[in-house]
Amino acid sequence: MADEIDATLLEDTQLDLEQLARSCQVTREWVIEHVQWGLLHNDDFIYAEPESWIFDSRAFMRVKRIIAIERDFECNPELAGLVADMIEEIEHLRAQLKTIRLHQD
């Protein structure tokens, strides 16, 4: 009998507040505070209740990154958000540079 694997591509993942908090091993209050501080970007969250928030794979990865930065550098959330922004910008610029280089060859 073959083993069945139930998998979802991270890219296609949609998580509610509870699922995100549980999968990242933080409290729902941690997520709510970070959204309120503007560290998890989504314009739809401004007027919506937290129970209706839906997070995508980018938010999941950002939460994991912020958690690691806060832990590794023992810093406050605002600094962790700024560092995460800088890392994401560097990744974006590197991807653009790679694309430019591929088109030049």
The CATH number covering residue 66 comes to: 1.10.1660.10
Q: Is residue 3 part of a domain?
A: no
Q: Domain for residue 8, yes or no?
A: no
Q: What is the pTM of this model?
A: 0.79
| Structural domain count, the chain | 1
> Does 89 reside within a domain?
yes
The model's pLDDT over 75-91, given as tens digits with 9 standing for 90+, comes to 999 999 999 999 999 99
In a domain, 2, yes or no: no
- Note down the domain range covering 66: 13-104
Can you give the pLDDT at residue 48? 81
User: Which of the four pLDDT bands, split at 50, 70 and 90, describes residue 41?
Assistant: confident
Cβ pair 33, 77 in contact under 8 A: yes
Residue 36 has pLDDT above 70, yes or no: yes
Handedness of CA 73, 78, 83, 88 (dihedral sign): positive
Q: Is residue 6 part of a domain?
A: no
Q: What is the pLDDT of residue 11?
A: 65
